[in-house]
Amino acid sequence: MMVTVIALAIEEKDKHKVIAKLNEQVQELAKDVSYYENLREKEKTQVAFRQFKDSVFKLKYPDFSEIIKIVFSKSKKYGFNPYLVMAVIQVESAFDPYAVSTAGAYGLMQVNYSVWKDQLKIDFNRIFEKEYNIDLGLRILKHYYDGNAGNLFMALFRYNNGYKYNNTRYSGKVIATSFYAHRNKAEKVANQQKNLQI
């Protein structure tokens, strides 16, 4: 009988240890759940803020907002970083869709109509349309990029000069923009995230 009582006492003690361990695990899980709920709330707040910020930006700057949307889409189509394209547009036209240069270049990307009209079959009546102009400009940039074996600086040089002029300052102007600087930061972050996934 004494052996049974001792065995029951040990069994009871073991049950208390198991229950205590389970309670510890429940408390840890509760902390984890609380942490992730707080994280989810922060993310919801950040998403709501981004949506608000985007809406306000679109209301205040509808033309610029449209340019951003087009640049993002067309950049992906032609394989360029969208920040690079924003830098080119800033240098070329300062985001004026109706910009005209003395050399006969038009629109956001300053497409030289007389040089490219036949090769790209440019519809002059559409040259100031944001999407059309950006598409033309990126086709030209892609032409020079591919023709210079993927050398971006030579592609930028040719985009501004063609084969006729020698303005060596153009690439430097593009690189000096805050858009280009952000391109470098964004690519660095993307590379770091890629390395973490490997």
In a domain, 12, yes or no: yes
In a domain, 65, yes or no: no
In a domain, 77, yes or no: yes
Number of domains in the chain: 2
In a domain, 100, yes or no: yes
pLDDT digits (tens, 9 = 90+) for 45-104: 888 888 898 888 889 989 999 999 999 999 999 999 999 999 999 999 999 999 999 989
In a domain, 78, yes or no: yes
In a domain, 67, yes or no: no
Of the residues 60, 82, 97, which one is the last residue of a structural domain? 60
pLDDT digits (tens, 9 = 90+) for 136-158: 999 999 999 999 999 999 999 99
More confident residue, 146 or 39: 146
In a domain, 66, yes or no: no
Of the residues 33, 60, 87, which one is the last residue of a structural domain? 60
What single string gives the DSSP state of each residue in 61-120?
-HHHHHHHHHHHHHHHHHT--HHHHHHHHHHHHTT-TT-B-TTSEETTTTEEHHHHTTTT
**Total residues belonging to the chain:** 198
Percent of the chain with pLDDT over 90: 53
Residues 160 and 191 in one domain: yes
- Read off the pLDDT band of 26 (50, 70, 90): confident
Q: How far is CA 167 from CA 58, 147, 179, in A?
A: 36, 19, 21
pLDDT at residue 194, rounded to an integer: 60
Residues 131 and 151 in one domain: yes
Tokens read off for 122: 């440019």
Tokens read off for 65: 């907002």
Residues 42 and 82 in one domain: no
Across the chain, what does the average pLDDT equal? Answer: 86
pLDDT at residue 192, rounded to an integer: 60
| CA–CA dist 19, 14 (Å, integer) | 9
Residues 52 and 106 in one domain: no
Of the residues 31, 60, 89, which one is the last residue of a structural domain? 60
Residues 31 and 90 in one domain: no
In a domain, 165, yes or no: yes
Residues 90 and 42 in one domain: no
Residues 135 and 191 in one domain: yes
Residues 85 and 167 in one domain: yes
More confident residue, 34 or 175: 175
Residues 82 and 106 in one domain: yes
What sign results for the dihedral spanned by CA atoms 194, 178, 165, 132? Answer: positive
Name the residue range of residue 103's domain.
72-197
Domain CATH number, residue 77 = 1.10.530.10
